[in-house]
């Protein structure tokens, strides 16, 4: 570590003397935290926005070693990054953070996960809450039983304190609580079945997004993030080994999203909805916390050291569904934890088809293509006014919105999308050959990639441990701890 410290001092001295390690003249700024980064621009917490040179060089220093790394390895949330500036551009980054993820930056959605941009949010603390403007330190304190309301007017953040006074701010706002305190949002409720006002660990960062809107990013440690993911993705009453498998899969997914930084230009790693993985839609649970703690730090990696893509979904149908015989097969039901989604069917009348596709009288609905997993990836609908070809598994599921759906043991009302794209079609025609209705016989729930959550439940109930479950669903991966250096 002494070697690392000396190396850092030497590099800083070079920059301050008018040189950086790339050989160009420049000035080194103090180490700062990265809030957003793209190929052409970086935003620091204190330095603000800076353009990035096309020829930028990046060096990472850790455990006494300095190596060249790609710009893509510089991640949102890194806190010890020195930028060397030459002619107004960043020509060199010196990164003193380890190349692993310690915190997650989660974009919090509006009510019902409808959007990411908020017009107004109200916060209250479990102990005390601090509202502070970035850079200036201006702000106020909110005590227990009080709340602050945040909104944007004319592109500026406003906050109402506990006494009803309105503060106007030029910069980003930070909202944080006392140690071990939680931050409650009072503007909406979360939960399926029993609803609740969500409480969050970590801190919030509020950034203007438009003339009347802002982004709310919850920055939280990786392990604390999981406490509110695992119970939202898997019922807390399920077997411990299934919950542990979910914890590892969810941790790996989070690390992968942070590493590949697809939302880095927006300043966050993941959203709190199904577009990433669901966060804080169910209260924390002791069983889930135990599963997280007993697998602390564990993620899945490929043989080349890169992070595994740990997709997971609700239920597998067990077999590819292309005919009645395969749909009637129930031999995989127990392995899927007796999931009610193992088999399902729904019927669309001629009138419903006309409303869905706007082609006049529909004359046929056919599967155009399937992928190697058996999912329908192309659906062709023919009608009196032409033909439409729907491409993509998710687009097909969104297009076919059943008014009712029958499962193995029960029936459900209207659905916003089809449970899965694993189905086959039977048409019913009248005596003149005109289409009267279409019935879809399907199985499973979700995209059928990665780990089946009900399958994990079935394996755990059969006595398998979480390592065996993970090996089944991610056979080309192995366990490492996320504190190990990762390859990008």
**Token pair of 273, please?**
């909805």
- Residue 41 above 90 pLDDT? yes
What DSSP designation does 308 have? P
Q: What is the pLDDT of residues 220-257, one digit of tens each?
A: 999 999 999 999 999 999 999 999 999 999 999 998 88
Q: What is the pLDDT of residues 168-223, one digit of tens each?
A: 998 789 999 988 899 999 999 999 889 999 999 999 999 999 999 999 999 999 99
C-alpha dist (Å) from residue 457 to 22, 61, 64, 239, 486: 54, 43, 45, 7, 30
Q: Count other Cβ atoms within 10 Å, centred on residue 416.
A: 8
Q: What is the length of the chain?
A: 488
SS3 of residue 276 by DSSP: coil
Q: What is the pLDDT of residue 327?
A: 94
**pTM higher than 0.75:** yes
* Separation between Cα atoms, residue 180 and residue 127, nearest integer Å: 9
Q: What is the pLDDT of residue 169?
A: 95
What is the separation of C-alpha 378 from the centre of its chain, rounded to a whole number of angstroms?
Answer: 27
* Separation between Cα atoms, residue 290 and residue 294, nearest integer Å: 6
Q: What is the mean pLDDT of the chain?
A: 89
- Residue 367 above 90 pLDDT? yes
The residue behind tokens 């106007």 is: 168
- Residue 458 above 90 pLDDT? yes
Q: Report the share of the chain in percent with pLDDT over 90.
A: 72
- Residue 424 above 90 pLDDT? yes
Cβ–Cβ under 8 Å, residues 104 and 254: yes
- Residue 8 above 60 pLDDT? no
What residue ranges in 272-337 does DSSP mark as E strands? 298-301, 312-313
Q: What is the pLDDT of residue 86?
A: 93
Cβ–Cβ under 8 Å, residues 186 and 197: yes
Cβ–Cβ under 8 Å, residues 486 and 259: yes
**Token pair of 272, please?**
């709190």
Q: What is the pLDDT of residue 441?
A: 97
* Separation between Cα atoms, residue 207 and residue 477, nearest integer Å: 38
Domains in the chain: boundaries: 2-95, 120-212, 226-309+450-488, 324-442
Lowest-confidence region among 74-88, 257-271, 337-351: 257-271
First to last CA, the chain: 24
* Separation between Cα atoms, residue 449 and residue 61, nearest integer Å: 37
SS3 of residue 181 by DSSP: coil
- Residue 160 above 80 pLDDT? yes
Report residue 447's pLDDT band, with 50, 70 and 90 as the boundaries.
Answer: confident
């Amino acid at each position: 570590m002494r070697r690392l410290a000396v190396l850092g001092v030497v590099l800083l001295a070079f920059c301050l003397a008018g040189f950086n390690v790339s050989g160009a003249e420049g000035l080194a700024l103090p180490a700062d935290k990265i809030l957003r980064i793209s190929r052409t621009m970086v935003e620091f917490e204190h330095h603000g926005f800076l353009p990035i040179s096309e020829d930028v060089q990046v060096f990472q220093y850790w455990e006494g070693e300095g190596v060249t790394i790609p710009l893509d390895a510089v991640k949102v949330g890194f806190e010890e990054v020195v930028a060397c500036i030459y002619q107004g551009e960043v020509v060199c980054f010196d990164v003193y953070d380890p190349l692993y993820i310690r915190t997650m930056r989660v974009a919090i959605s509006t009510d019902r996960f409808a959007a990411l941009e908020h017009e107004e949010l109200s916060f209250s603390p479990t102990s005390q809450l601090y509202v502070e403007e970035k850079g200036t330190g201006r702000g106020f304190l909110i005590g227990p039983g009080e709340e602050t309301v945040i909104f944007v007017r004319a592109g500026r953040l406003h906050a109402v304190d506990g006494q009803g006074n309105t503060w106007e701010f030029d910069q980003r706002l930070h909202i944080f609580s006392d140690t071990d305190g939680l931050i409650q949002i009072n503007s909406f409720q979360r939960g399926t079945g029993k609803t609740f006002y969500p409480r969050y660990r970590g801190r919030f960062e509020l950034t203007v997004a438009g003339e009347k809107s802002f982004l709310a990013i919850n920055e939280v440690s990786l392990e604390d993030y999981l406490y509110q993911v695992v119970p939202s993705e898997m019922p807390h009453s399920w077997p411990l080994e299934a919950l542990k498998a979910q914890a590892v899969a969810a941790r790996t997914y989070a690390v992968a999203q942070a590493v590949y930084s697809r939302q880095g230009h927006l300043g966050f790693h993941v959203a709190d909805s199904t577009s990433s993985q669901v966060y804080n839609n169910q209260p924390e649970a002791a069983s889930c916390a135990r599963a997280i703690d007993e697998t602390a730090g564990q993620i899945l990696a490929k043989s080349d050291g890169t992070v595994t893509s740990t997709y997971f979904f609700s239920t597998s149908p067990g077999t590819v569904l292309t005919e009645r015989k395969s749909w009637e097969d129930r031999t995989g039901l127990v392995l899927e934890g007796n999931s009610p989604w193992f088999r399902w069917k729904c019927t669309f009348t001629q009138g419903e088809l006309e409303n869905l596709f706007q082609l006049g009288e529909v004359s046929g609905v056919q599967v155009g293509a399937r992928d190697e997993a058996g999912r329908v990836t192309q659906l062709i609908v023919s009608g009196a006014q032409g033909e439409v070809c729907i491409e993509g598994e998710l687009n097909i599921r969104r297009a076919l919105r059943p008014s009712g759906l029958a499962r193995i043991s029960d029936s459900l009302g209207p659905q916003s999308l089809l449970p899965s794209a694993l189905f086959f079609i039977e048409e019913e025609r009248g005596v003149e050959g005109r289409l009267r209705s279409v019935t879809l016989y399907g199985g499973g729930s979700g995209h059928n990639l990665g780990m089946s959550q009900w399958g994990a439940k079935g394996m755990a109930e059969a006595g398998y441990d979480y390592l065996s479950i993970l090996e089944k669903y991610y056979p080309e991966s192995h366990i490492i701890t996320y504190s190990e250096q990762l390859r990008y």
